[in-house]
């Protein structure tokens, strides 16, 4: 009876954790997309709204190639930590940016980390 209760508790905890992670990532994606034009226009360079998104998507896509080599060399947990580190650094840079160039770099960092760790889920593939 104790093992069954523990398994049910663990299952409920796991399910709620997965739901919470997807809720937070969906919320951050919507907030960043909604605030992107506001932030870029605050620097009086509203025309760069599309450019920052395109560049961050391209770099996020191109980063997957060297990450695959890093995953073979270091391992999947270390690759996940690297992508989460990039994601967090991007948000720290977004919070402290003083110009549009820093914001664009921050968006590249956060988009790269997000694309690799959350959206594409390369870590769930079997070797």
Asked whether residue 73 is domain-assigned, the answer is yes
Asked whether residue 13 is domain-assigned, the answer is no
For 64, the domain range is: 37-124
Report the pLDDT value the prediction gives residue 125, as an integer from 0 to 100: 45
**Token couple for 94:** 């977004």
Asked whether residue 63 is domain-assigned, the answer is yes
How many structural domains is the chain composed of?
1
Asked whether residue 89 is domain-assigned, the answer is yes
Angle (CA) 75-22-73 rounded to 5° is 10
Confidence band for 127, pLDDT divided at 50, 70 and 90: very low
Asked whether residue 83 is domain-assigned, the answer is yes
Among 15-19, 54-58, 123-127, name the most confident range.
15-19
Contacts of 29 (CB under 8 A, 6+ apart): 114
Residue 122, pLDDT above cutoff 50: no
Burial class (CB in 10 A: 0-12, 13-18, 19+), 22: exposed
Contacts of 19 (CB under 8 A, 6+ apart): none
Asked whether residue 104 is domain-assigned, the answer is yes
Q: What's the mean pLDDT when you consider all of the chain?
A: 79
**Token couple for 118:** 């959350």
Asked whether residue 120 is domain-assigned, the answer is yes
pLDDT (tens digit per residue) in 53-80: 788 878 877 877 887 787 788 887 787 7
Confidence band for 89, pLDDT divided at 50, 70 and 90: very high
Asked whether residue 103 is domain-assigned, the answer is yes
Q: Please give the Cα distance from 36 to 41 (Å, whole number).
A: 8
Confidence band for 93, pLDDT divided at 50, 70 and 90: very high
Residue located via tokens 């739901």: 19
Question: What stretches of 43-63 show up as alpha helix (H) in DSSP?
Answer: 49-62
Coil/strand/helix, residue 74: coil
pTM of full prediction above 0.85: no
């Amino acid at each position: 009876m104790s093992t069954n209760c523990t398994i049910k508790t663990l299952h409920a905890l796991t399910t709620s954790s997965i739901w919470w992670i997807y809720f937070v990532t969906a919320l951050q994606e919507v907030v960043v997309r909604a605030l992107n034009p506001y932030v870029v226009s605050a620097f009086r360079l509203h025309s760069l709204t599309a450019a920052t998104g395109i560049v961050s998507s391209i770099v996020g896509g191109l980063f997957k190639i060297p990450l695959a080599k890093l995953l073979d060399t270091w391992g999947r947990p270390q690759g996940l930590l690297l992508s989460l580190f990039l994601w967090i650094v991007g948000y720290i840079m977004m919070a402290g940016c003083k110009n549009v160039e820093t914001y664009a770099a921050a968006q590249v960092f956060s988009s790269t980390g997000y694309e690799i760790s959350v959206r594409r889920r390369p870590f769930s593939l079997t070797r």
